Amino acid sequence: MAAVQKGARDTVPLRAQALGIDLAALPKHVAIIMDGNGRWARRNGLARLLGHREGYRALRGVLLTAAELGIKYLTVYAFSAENWRRPSDEVDGLMKLIEKAARDELRAMHQNNVRVNVSGRIDEVPAGLRNALESGVETTKDNTGITFTLAVNYGGRAEIVDAIKRIVQDGVKAEDISEELVQKYLYNPQHPDPDLMIRTAGEMRWSNFLIWQAAYAELVVTDVTWPEFGETQLLGAVKEYQRRTRKFGAVVE
């Protein structure tokens, strides 16, 4: 671990090093299930939608922290395919909130060299949200910093079903189908599989998120709700990740 120089500017990498994090062994791709917005709101006597709003405020800080730390890909579960089952007023509010956040944060993300990406059945979301997401992708497509993916109307099983449909439509023979081929038909085949999966609010479920890609991701669960999640928790998760020995099914002595 490199020594922290006296008088150096206090940055995220320096604070990470002070915690014993090896900057040369960071997870390349971090995925986050942002859970607990409603519980946070209830605990603070607020409406659930205000919890979601506070959660999106937290997301900006986590994204910028991850970018400064040196993580190359960050994917977050913003709205699942199953979330349509929630009360209609909450769903409508979430759609508007995601759209507003996408528009309001675009300038800051572009200035910070963030490349915006989306994952999910985007064609099924309201037109205003779809346009905001597509604008973010187009505006930042040439940026070279962290790739930030919003999973919206996303489901891991739905992604696999969509991949199978496209494989069939392309007339691929059964004997030519392999894991490598299926990977090419997923929503973002150019992204590396996530190394680290973080879930907030203490739930021990995968919740249909990146179930193909995260087959060998290291899972870190924290009891902290998403609106309370910040640099301290992100660095803690990275440090826990670095304690693990990744085996990928093999025996590691």
Catalytic residue ranges:
35, 83
CB distance 34 to 76 below 8 Å: yes
What count of other Cβ atoms lies within 10 Å of the Cβ of residue 43? 12
Q: Which of 3, 1, 13 is nearest to 231 (CA)?
A: 13
What count of other Cβ atoms lies within 10 Å of the Cβ of residue 219? 17
Backbone angles phi, psi at 80, to 5 degrees: -85, 160
Which helix (H) or strand (E) segment is 105 a member of?
A: helix 88-111
Tokens at residue 172, please? Answer: 């691929």
CB distance 212 to 31 below 8 Å: no
Separation of alpha carbons 223 and 31, rounded Å: 17
Cα-based angle 82, 66, 131 (whole degrees, multiple of 5) = 50
